Each structure stands twice: as structure tokens, then as C-alpha cells.
Amino acid sequence: MKKYQHLFFDLDHTLWDFERNSQETLEELFYELGMNELSHVEFSTFMQSFRTINHALWDSYNHHQIDRKTIRTQRFEMIRESLGMPNSTIFEQMNHAYLERCPQKPHLIPHSLEILTYLKEKYELHIISNGFEEIQKQKMKSSGILTFFSEIITSETTQYRKPSKEIFEFAVDKIKTDKQKTIMIGDNLTTDVIGANNAGIDAIFYNPEKVKHDQKVYCEIAYLLEIRDIL
Ligand SMILES: [Mg+2]
């Protein structure tokens, strides 16, 4: 008998290709807003700084050290400072334009549509994301995956953030099922995998870079299509 009925997916870096979408957006804006004329900093250096700072800010957000507003308002100012770029209104413009444009990008992690189409036949699919409600929905619309999902649960509406077990319990309650009938799929070992496990929920760790770790995981994959062998 089939054990699982409901699958919880993470969105960013698991289905929606955050790296590609954000890089494409930032590269457009870097030249459109004339940031290349502002200093000697090249786009590749700017992008590297964005990656590092954005990752650190999200990590702090996941650990309840900062709120969403801080991510949005501090991100580009921190990049400017870290690269020693001059003060300019361009950073504020970039911040606004980035928030508006990035979620409209359509790129998905390879084989997302294929695996969602396969899974949709057999399970009910949901999203559990620490992202912002409207932005996550926009990303799902832009990439054509919104209709695959029944419930979209974000930290913004629940007030809980992965890895805290409450957001998983909230999800299980909301879809009126038992946690044994659910499984989480995500790319973040802490928030998605350990978080789900702490709530008594199995998890599949999507680890495309095959990052080494010593966490015991139920299942680990490097390509989304490998899910077909498990579910
Ligand atoms: Mg993720």
C-alpha cells in the first residue's frame, strides 16, 4: 500500500531556479542602470557579492535573527559597502527593480515540469516555503507551475519559518492528513530536511552539488528525476 499521499516541495533552488533567475535579473539591471559606469567593479564580482550576502541574510532570516524587511532594505547597501562602491541612488533603484522583476523570471531547475507532471498523477502536491507569499506565487505563475499545487504555505502567512517544526505541523493540519502520509522535498539540509524530520516527517534531500555532510537522511538525490525511483 502506498505510504505517502501528500508531497511538500520547497520552491527556491528546488523547483524555481533562483540562481539563474536572479543572475539574469541582476545582469540586466547592472547595465540598464549604468552600474558599470559607477565604479570599476565588474558584474561577475557584483554577482559574487550578491550571492554571499543574500545567502547570509536568508540564513539569518531562517534563524529568526532578522525580518523580511531587513533582507529587502539592507541587501544592496551591504553589497555596495562590501565592494567599496560609491554612494548612489542606483542601488535603491536596483533594489526596487530587482524585487519587481526577478519573480517574473521563468527558469526552473531541470526536469521540474517532468517530475511534477509524473507526481501529480499519484499524489497531492503542496509548497512549504520561507519566501514571501506574493513573490512565491508570482514565481510559480511565471514558471508555469502554480496549477500543480493545492496548498502554498509560506512563513509569511503562518508566522513560522522552516526549520521550526510548527510550519510542518501547520501544513499537515491545513491539509487534514497525518504526518506519516507526507514527505518533504527540498535542497536545504537544515530547513527542509532536518526541519521536517524534527516534525516527524520524512524528507528527500535534493543535493545537486553533492555537498558532503554527516546528517542521516531518508533519501538523497542529485537530479529531480530520481524521485521517480522513490515515489
Ligand atoms: Mg530552497
Query: Tens digit of pLDDT for each residue in 51-71?
Result: 999 999 999 988 889 988 898
- Neighbouring residues of 115: CB distance < 8 A, sequence distance ≥ 6: 224, 225, 227, 228
CA of 186 to the centre of ligand 1 (A): 6
ω into 106 cis (within 30 of 0): no
pLDDT of residue 73: 87
pLDDT of residue 72: 87
Contact between 161 and 167 (Cβ < 8 Å): yes
CA of 83 to the centre of ligand 1 (A): 27
CA of 189 to the centre of ligand 1 (A): 9
Report, as ranges of residue numbers, the positions in the chain whose pLDDT lies below 70: 1-2
How far is C-alpha 78 from the chain's CA centre? 21
pLDDT of residue 7: 98
CA of 184 to the centre of ligand 1 (A): 12
Domains belonging to the chain, first-starting first, are: 6-17+108-229 (3.40.50.1000), 18-104 (1.10.150.240)
DSSP strands (E only) in 99-167: 124-129, 149-154
> What is the dihedral sign for C-alpha 35, 37, 43, 47?
negative
CA of 88 to the centre of ligand 1 (A): 32
pLDDT of residue 2: 64
pLDDT of residue 62: 86
